[in-house]
Amino acid sequence: MKLRGNRAVRRKMCQEDDLRVLVKFKEGSDINDVGLCALTYGLKKALGDIEMAKILRDGRLLIKCKNIGQRDKALKIQSVCKKEVGEVRKFGEWGTKGVISGIPLGEKLVELRKVIKGGTVVSVKRLQANRNGEKLDSTSVLLGFKEQVLPERVMIGYMSFYVREYVPPPIRCNKCQRYGHIAKVCKGKQRCGKCGGEHEYGKCSDRDERKCRNCGGDHTAAYGGCPVRKRAVEVQQIRTARNLSYAEAVKSVERDRKEGGAKGNPNAR
C-alpha cells in the first residue's frame, strides 16, 4: 500500500497549533501502576480540567489540553501521581525517523553520523533483514532526525541518498501472539507462536504442527505472508503516515476497507 502526500500532511500538521503533549517517565516510574481514578484526580489537580489523557503502549502518557496556556503548563510538569517525569514535549516534537539504503556493511556508523548533511542526525542504526529464518545486517540504515519534518534527501560526501519514512514493524505480543500490544500489558492466555497451543514457544509436542494463532494457516504467527500480519503492517503504515494512535489507525483501516468494498459493489448502498 503506497501512501501519497505523507510529507505534505506532516508539514501541514507542523504549521497547526497542537494542544497535545507526550510525557515520558523516568526509569522505575511506571504510570501503568496508577489507577484510573487516581490518575484522573492527579491530572486535574496538576493541570485543571483537560480534554483527555491516554497511557500509550510504550509507557508514555498522552495529554490533550483545552488551550495553549494549559498546554504550556503541561510542558513544565515534573511528576504525575508521584511518578517522576523524565521528559515532556509537544506531540509533534519527538523528531522523525527515516531510512536510507545502499550503505556498505563495513561502514562505521559512528563516523557516518558525523558527515551526514541534510538534517540534524541524532541517531544511526543499521537495520536487519530476515534471510532463511535468520536475522542478518542489511545495507539499510535507520536515521533519527531532530527535525519534525523528514528531509527528502541527505548527502554523505558527494553521494545523495533518498530518505524514506520509517514504518516500524507491527507490534505482536510474545504471550498471546495477537497484534497491537506487548506481553507486559497482555491479559490473554499464553499461546505458542509456532503451533498456536497454550504453552510457551518451543515447547510443542511431536504431534503439534505449525499453525498460526491469528489466522489458522499452516505457518507461524510471525510469517510475513499471514493475512493478519499484512493487516497489522497496513495499520502501522497508516499510523506513521497520519500520526495516529494504534487504535485510531485500526479504525481508519477498517473504515477504508468498508468504503473500498462499497465502491466495488454496485449493489451496495
If one counts every other C-beta atom within 10 angstroms of the C-beta of residue 206, the result is: 4
Q: Domain 96-165, what architecture?
A: 2-Layer Sandwich (3.30)
3 state DSSP class of 173: coil
- The pLDDT tens digits along the chain (269 residues) read 444 455 555 544 443 447 889 898 887 888 988 999 999 999 999 999 999 999 886 788 999 999 999 999 999 999 999 999 988 888 766 678 899 999 999 999 999 999 999 999 988 999 988 776 678 999 999 999 887 678 999 999 999 999 998 888 888 999 999 998 888 888 899 999 999 999 988 788 877 788 999 999 999 998 889 999 999 999 988 887 776 777 788 888 888 877 776 656 555 44
103, 155 Cβ separation under 8 angstroms? no
What pTM did the predictor assign?
0.56
Cite the residue boundaries of each domain of the chain with CATH code 3.30.70.330: 19-90
* CA nearest neighbour of 30 among 190, 171, 184: 184
β-strand partners of 87: 24
How far, in Å, CA of 169 to CA of 161, rounded?
22
* Sign of the Cα pseudo-torsion (63, 66, 70, 71, in order): positive
Planar angle of CA 116, 103, 117, nearest 5 degrees: 10
pLDDT at 16: 40
How far, in Å, CA of 32 to CA of 46, rounded?
18
Q: In what order do the strands lie in the sheet with 116-117?
A: 116-117, 153-156, 159-162
- For cell 504453552, name the residue: 199
**Burial per residue of 222-257, b for 16 or more beta-carbon CB atoms within 10 angstroms, e otherwise:** bbeebebbebbbbbbbbbbbebeebeebbebbeeee
Q: Residue 14 gets which letter from DSSP? A: H
- Superfamily designation of domain 19-90: RRM (RNA recognition motif) domain (3.30.70.330)
pLDDT at 163: 95
Neighbour-count burial of 62, counting CB atoms closer than 10 A to its CB (0-12 exposed, 13-18 middle, 19+ buried): middle
> What is the number of alpha carbons within 13 Å of residue 268 lying toward its C-beta?
8
SS (H, E, C) 111-156: HHHHHEECCCEEEEEEEEEEECCEEEEEEEEEEEECCCCCCCEEEE
Helices 246-264 and 227-242: angle between axes, nearest 10 degrees: 110
Residue 104's φ and ψ, nearest 5 degrees, are: -55, 145
pLDDT at 52: 93
How far, in Å, CA of 36 to CA of 190, rounded?
26
pLDDT at 201: 85
- Sequence-distant (6+) residues with CB within 8 A of 37 are none
